[in-house]
Structure 1
Amino acid sequence: MKEAIKPTRWRCLCAYDGTEFNGWQKQPNRKAVQDKIDEALAEIFGCTIRTIGAGRTDAGVHAAGQVFHFDASWKHPEDSLLQALRVRLPVGISPRMVTAVPDRFHAHISAQGKRYRYRICPGWAMPEKDRFVHSMKGRTLQLDRMKEAASFFLGTHDFAAFAANRGHGEKEPTVRKLWRSEWRVQGGELHFITEAKGYLYKMVRSMTGAMIDVGLGRMEPSEISEILLSSKRTGRVVSAPARGLSMEKVFYRLPKLARSK
């Protein structure tokens, strides 16, 4: 009897435009990014392939650096597997790299942190950018106030007041540590960049929505600290639209900035 060949573990870096998809995680209606990837892999290998992602993104949220892994036997070059995936996926999902990795690698468990970026257009966004930014449409934001507000999120806090319930009976610890929380001006846009080990459901969008209200003068920067300490979600926190948010990078080794904190 021939010994069964052990499948290879593959790590894939993937980008996607989340506008037309119901988030990353598989859905009953099969309209999630993971659904489309699993369908493509099933076609390639002729059997069901289980993918595991580094993290979930919500409906309408994008990714420049989502990572997932799967196990499968492939006798051809890595580039040919990447190409086979690309030609079978719909517009809006773009695998960037496929690499064979040791079995101990796990896209989710091995991840040490994630970086998210939220993009705001101070005016009216051009059509080619409108799917990826939140347009303020002429409303003026006070960036200094928003920077001050962002500083309150740094460190370890209970982020229950900036999280939403998924509605599936899921309960998870609400304490998170952020080692990066800052606003930058880039290409005429305002970018909020945050890094942490992990995030709660709608946490980054809720943080951003509150800081937008600070920038519009509807809330004082110090109120961010008060809301954090309350550990209760209230109507004072409104989530920013999904279109401006992107999972930019998954860290498997912490960046120097993280180590210095």
Structure 2
Amino acid sequence: MVVRIALGVEYCGSAFHGWQSQAGGGTVQDALEAALREIAGQPVGVMCAGRTDAGVHASHQVVHFETALDRPLSAWVRGVNSNLPAGIAVRWAQPVDDEFHARFSARGRRYRYLLLNRPQRPGLWAGRVGWCHVPLALGVMQDACTRLVGEHDFSAFRAAGCQAKSPVKTMTRAEVRQSGSMFVFDFEASAFLHHMVRNLVGSLVYIGKGAQSPDWIGALLQMQDRKLAAPTFSPDGLYFRGPIYEAHWGLPDPDDDFLDGLLT
């Protein structure tokens, strides 16, 4: 009997060429499928909740695959982890209904961006945070974030190569807070466009350093022109915090509060 298995996966994207499998290898998907093949003894293809670019991290990526093999769930966690490279780990495995799809069953997605704001570049946090050496003002960035909540055309924050059918998305959360020299940006939406979060952070940084006012965000949404917004910010500080599913699927909620603990 064929069963569908969902996995919760975390990874540091610094050493990988993004999520999506490619001919030259070196992606998170390539590494995960190779590790699954070692346990299954045959090729295993996975579908993910949200593809991430090179250098982008994930604290709660969700994938699913199908198998006719009878393996304990521990084999899909500890067994797979023993075959994964450093920087990727399976956190949980769970059988799911045949109708579940890691991507299409999600009703929303969460991202976090960590931005170090100090004169010196990151050392300890290198590759895991963005960096801005110019002092940033929290209040104006928080003001600007309120303009992003709701249904908008996010064309001004869309990468040129974005393949989404529509630029209209519903943002349910857009917040920024400060913990010492670290700014923490949190975004939650029905879906995201390619580079959307990094483009939003770039424009919020422009506002934080006084180059633009908070009203600029609203103007960019209205003008719907990518060329008028700020440049795309570094991938280093971007974390995919996971998809949002209806409770009836019975999947674990994201458990990445360690990010908060590190910043307090």
Distance 1:171 1:248, change over 3 A: closer
Residue 178 in structure 1 maps to residue 171 in structure 2 = yes
Query: Which residue pairs with 1:258 in the alignment?
Result: none
**Bigger Cα displacement from structure 2, 145-154 vs 72-81:** 72-81
Give the match's secondary structure for 1:109.
coil
Residue equivalent to 1:134: 130
In structure 2, relative to structure 1, the CA distance for the partners of 1:224 and 1:21 (3 Å cut) is same
Q: 1:200-211 residue pairs with structure 2 within 5 A?
A: 200-211=193-204
Give per-residue Cα distances to partners, 1:177-213, cap 9 Å, x unaligned: 0000011124652101010111000000000000001
AA partner of residue 192 (structure 1): F
Give the structure 1 partner of residue 53 of structure 2: 58
SS of the residue aligned with 2:207? helix
TM-fit CA distance, 1:117: 0.3
Q: TM-score, normalised by structure 1?
A: 0.89
Summarize the Cα distance change of 1:116–1:82 in structure 2 as closer, same or farther, 3 Å threshold: same
Which of 11, 16, 29 is the aligned partner of 1:21?
16
1:224 pairs with 2:220: no
Residue type of the partner of 1:70? F
CA deviations 1:4-58 (Å, max 9, x no partner) are xx22111000000001111111122112111111111122212221100001111
Q: Superposition RMSD on alpha carbons, in Å? A: 1.7
Matched residue SS, 2:109: strand
Contact 2:108 2:190 in 1 (8 A): yes
| Contact 1:119/1:192, CA 8 A, preserved across alignment | yes
Find the aligned partners of 1:18 and 1:63 in 2 and give their Cα distance: 8
- Does the CA-based 8 Å contact 1:125-1:133 persist in structure 2? no
Offset of residue 239 of structure 1: 1.1
Cross-structure match for 1:3 = none
Q: Distance in 2 between matches of 1:234 and 1:253?
A: 37
How many residues were matched structurally? 247
User: What's 1:113 paired with?
Assistant: 108
Partner of 2:217, secondary structure, is helix
Query: Which residue is 2:261 aligned to?
Result: none
- The alignment partner of 1:234 has SS state of helix
Q: Deviations over 1:131-178 (max 9, x none)?
A: 2111223x20011111111111110000011010227xx352100000
Q: Provide the C-alpha distance between the structure 1 equivalents of 2:220 and 2:97, rounded to a whole number of angstroms.
A: 44
Question: 2:234 matched to 1:241?
Answer: yes
Contact in 2 for aligned 1:185/1:191 (Cα 8 Å): yes
In structure 1, the gaps of 5 or more residues are: 1-5, 256-261
Are the equivalent residues in 1 in contact too, given 2:116–2:122 (CA < 8 A)? Answer: no
- Report the CA distance shift for 1:155/1:171 in structure 2 as closer, same or farther (over 3 A): closer
In structure 2, distance between residues paired with 1:155 and 1:82:
38
Comparing 81-90 with 41-50, greater Cα deviation is found at 41-50
The percent of aligned pairs where both chains have the same amino acid is: 33
